[in-house]
A and B are shown apart, each in its own frame.
Chain A
Amino acid sequence: MHKIDYSSAPLLTVEGLKQYFRISRTFTVKAVDDVSFKIWPGETYGLVGESGSGKSTIGRSVIRLYDPTAGKIVFNGMDISGKMSHSTEGNLRVQMQMIFQDPMASLNPRKTIGDIIGEGLDIHHTYKTRAEREEAIKNILLKVGLSPEHATRYPHQFSGGQRQRVGIARALIMNPKLIIADECISALDVSIQAQVINLMKDIQDETGTAYLFIAHDLSMVKYISDRIGVLHLGHLLETGTTEEIFSHPVHPYTKSLLSAIPEPNPIVEKKRVAESYDYKTSGIHYEDGTSHLVEGTHYVKCTDEEFKKWV
Chain B
Amino acid sequence: MSDSNDKILEIRDLDITFKTTAGPVHAIRGINVDLKRGETVAIVGESGSGKSVTMRAAMGILAKNAVVNRGSIIFRYHHQDGSEAEVDILSKDKKWIRSHINGKRMAMVFQDPMTSLDPTMQIGRQIMEDMIWHYKTPKEEARKRAIELLTEVGIEEPEKRMKEYPHQLSGGMRQRVVIAIALACNPDLLICDEPTTALDVTIQAKIIELIRRIQKERGISVIYITHDLGVVAKVADYVNVMYAGRIVEKGTINEIYYDPRHPYTWGLLSAMPDLDTNDERLYTIPGSPPNLLHEKAGDAFAPRNKFALEIDDKADPPMFQISTTHFAATWLLDPRAPKVEMPAELRAKILRMKHEAGLDDTPAPEERATGIATDADVREEGSAAGAVTAADGKASGNTSGEVSEGVKADSAAETKAADSAKSGEGGSADTGNSGAAGAAENEEGESHA
- Among B353-410, those with CB < 8 Å from A are 353, 356-359
Q: In the complex, what distance in Å separates the CA atom of A261 from the CA atom of B359?
A: 22
Contact between chains at B275 and A265 (CB < 8 Å): no
**List of A residues within 8 angstroms of B230 by Cβ:** 261-264, 269
CB distance A246 to B227 under 8 Å?
Answer: no
A165-195 residues at the B interface, CB under 8 angstroms:
189-195
Identify which of residues 119-138 in chain A touch chain B, using a CB-to-CB cut-off of 8 Å: none
Interface residues on A, range: 35 or more
- Which of A66-74, A148-156, A214-222 has 4 or more CB atoms under 8 Å from chain B? A214-222
Q: A50-B200, A50-B202, A260-B205 are in contact. Are A269 and B277 (CB under 8 A)?
A: no
Is B359 a contact partner of A267 (Cβ separation < 8 A)? yes
Q: How many residues of B contact A (CB 8 A)?
A: 47
Looking at the complex, which one of B202, B227, B275, B288 makes contact with A161 (CB distance below 8 Å)?
A: B288
On whether A191 and B284 interact (CB within 8 A), knowing A257-B201, A260-B204, A268-B356, the answer reads: yes
Interface hits, B52-89 → A, CB 8 Å? none
Q: Which of B202, B232, B284, B289 contacts A256 (CB 8 A)?
A: B202
Known contacts A262-B231, A270-B234; is-contact A190 B272 (Cβ 8 Å): yes
Within A271-289, which residues are at the interface with B (CB < 8 Å)?
Answer: 274, 276-277
Cβ–Cβ contact B202 & A263, under 8 A: no
The closest CB in chain B to the CB of A161 belongs to B288
Contact present for A264 and B275 (CB under 8 Å):
no
Q: Which residue of B lies closest to A220 (CB)?
A: B273
On whether A265 and B357 interact (CB within 8 A), knowing A193-B271, A256-B202, A270-B234, the answer reads yes
Number of cross-chain contacts by CB at 8 Å: 127
**Per-position binary interface string of chain B over residues 227-249, scored 1 when its CB falls under 8 Å from any chain A CB and 0 otherwise:** 11111111010000000000000
B272:A274 contact, CB within 8 angstroms: no
Of B47, B231, B272, B284, which contacts A195 at CB under 8 A?
A: B284
Residues in A with CB closer than 8 Å to B272 are: 190, 219, 264
Q: How far is the CB of B299 from chain A (nearest CB, A)?
A: 16
Residues of A within 8 A of B357 (CB): 265-268
Task: Please name all residues of chain B whose beta carbon is closer than 8 Å to the beta carbon of A51 when the two chains form the complex.
Answer: 171, 200
Write out the residue numbers on chain B whose beta carbons fall within 8 Å of the beta carbon of A262.
204-205, 208, 228, 230-231, 233-234
Which one of B202, B204, B208 has the greatest number of beta carbons of chain A within 10 Å? B202
Given contacts A191-B46, A266-B254, contact A261 B353 (CB under 8 A): no
Closest A residue to B277 by CB, please name it: A223
Measured in the bound complex, the distance between the Cα atoms of B54 and A18 in whole Å is 48
> Does A233 make an interface contact (CB < 8 A)?
no
Q: Which chain A residues border B289 with CB–CB below 8 Å?
A: 189, 191
Contact B209 A274 (CB under 8 A): yes
Cα of A159 to Cα of B204 in the assembled complex, Å:
28
Q: Give 1 or 0 for each of B187-212: 1 = CB within 8 Å of chain A CB.
A: 00000000000001111111011000
A93 at the interface (CB under 8 A from B): no
Q: Which residues of A contact B253 (CB under 8 A)?
A: 266
**Bound form: Cα–Cα A222–B273 in Å:** 9
CB < 8 Å: which of A198, A264, A265, A277 contacts B202?
A: A277
Which residues in window 253-295 of B have CB below 8 A to A? 253-254, 257, 267-269, 271-275, 277, 280-286, 288-289
Across the interface, name the chain B residue whose C-beta is closest to A201: B281
**Contact among B206, B257, B274, B280 for A219, CB-based, below 8 A:** B274
With both beta carbons as reference points, the residue of chain B lying nearest to A216 in the complex is identified as B200
- Most chain A beta-carbon neighbours within 10 Å: one of B209, B229, B231, B273: B273
Residues of B within 8 A of A191 (CB): 46, 267-268, 271, 284-285, 288-289
**What are 24 A-B interface contacts by the 8 Å CB criterion?**
A159-B288, A160-B288, A189-B288, A190-B272, A191-B267, A191-B285, A194-B285, A195-B286, A198-B282, A198-B284, A201-B281, A223-B277, A223-B282, A260-B205, A261-B230, A263-B274, A264-B229, A264-B272, A264-B274, A265-B274, A267-B358, A268-B356, A269-B233, A274-B206
Residues of B bordering A, CB below 8 Å: 46-47, 171, 200-206, 208-209, 227-234, 236, 253-254, 257, 267-269, 271-275, 277, 280-286, 288-289, 353, 356-359
